[in-house]
Structure 1
Amino acid sequence: MSVAPTTIRVIIPLAIRKRNGRPKIMPPSNPVEANEAAVEAHVLRAVAKAWSWRRKLETGKASTNLDLAHAEDVSDRYIGRMIKLAYLAPAVLEKLLLQRCPLAVSLKDLTAIADLPWAEQVAAAFGSSEA
């Protein structure tokens, strides 16, 4: 007669990623949900803020970055650095916002990529294999 085991082993595949220098446990994801959550929320918020600031400057609701900085309670240098996201190439914005493709660079690097010509931005933001 055989005895049933008294221990049950449950295996849950988890990924550990570092965010802001701290480890973060990521839950398992199925491929359908993974594509939707591929772009991190802080990147989407940064692009949305940049477009909002751009509209305020273009419509005259704010006349300088310093006006925006006082209204948002941030530094004018931060506004100047982040507003570049409003000038990303349309192809980058489409892949980022509509297709939800994950970036190959950090948000800080994405602001620097906005200074590149539009033809080079997609490859720089999403990896050299895509164009």
Structure 2
Amino acid sequence: MTRGAPVPNTVTLHVPFRIVKRGGRKEMQLPEGAAQPRRTDNTLVKALARAFRWKRMLESGEYATIAELAEREGIAPSYMTRVLRLTLLAPDIVEAILDGKQGPELTLARVLEPCPAAWNEQLQRLQVDTDA
């Protein structure tokens, strides 16, 4: 606009995005290459917190077995075992999750799947960009 030009009453802005379902809720997904805002996934953060808490309880001797702790927590031992595996994630992955830089493709269901023990293989498999 130039000086003295009238200001338009309406401005239309087109932002390409799509709505995707994630964890039972709808979320806006921006196109590839667009600047993604950091968004902490509270479900992932809560699962990490539980995993490290349960690990500490087992290591301290407060509970002798996963079955005993699972009974106290009121959950299935098999689920507890899967969540406890989160303590074996590469520190870069844990940091990315806590900082909200993990990307929309990294969901709780995905990190609960069996994962390689080697941290560099985890980073590749889970597609976590540590430079973001």
Alignment deviations for residues 22-50 of structure 1 (CA, whole Å, 9 cap, x no partner): 5625499xx68x21x1x311011011100
Identical aligned pairs, as a percentage?
A: 25
Correspondence 1:52-63 to 2 at 5 A: 52-63=53-64
Cα 1:85/1:27, change in 2 over 3 Å:
closer
Cα 1:15/1:117, change in 2 over 3 Å:
same
Correspondence 1:21-36 to 2 at 5 A: 22=24, 24=26, 26=28, 34-35=37-38
Structure 2: runs of 5 or more not aligned: 1-9
**Bigger proportion of residues as helix:** 1
Question: Contact (CA 8 Å) 1:89, 1:114: kept in 2 or not?
Answer: no
Could you tell me how far apart the structure 1 residues matched to 2:11 and 2:29 are? 18
TM-score (norm 2): 0.69
Larger deviation, residues 66-75 vs 108-117:
108-117
- Name segments (4+ residues, structure 1) moved above 4 Å: 8-15, 25-28
Name the residue aligned to 2:93.
92
The Cα RMSD (Å) is 3.2
Alignment deviations for residues 71-113 of structure 1 (CA, whole Å, 9 cap, x no partner): 2110111101111001111121122223633253332221235
Once the two structures are TM-superposed, the CA of residue 59 in structure 1 deviates from its matched residue by 0.5
TM-score (norm 1): 0.69
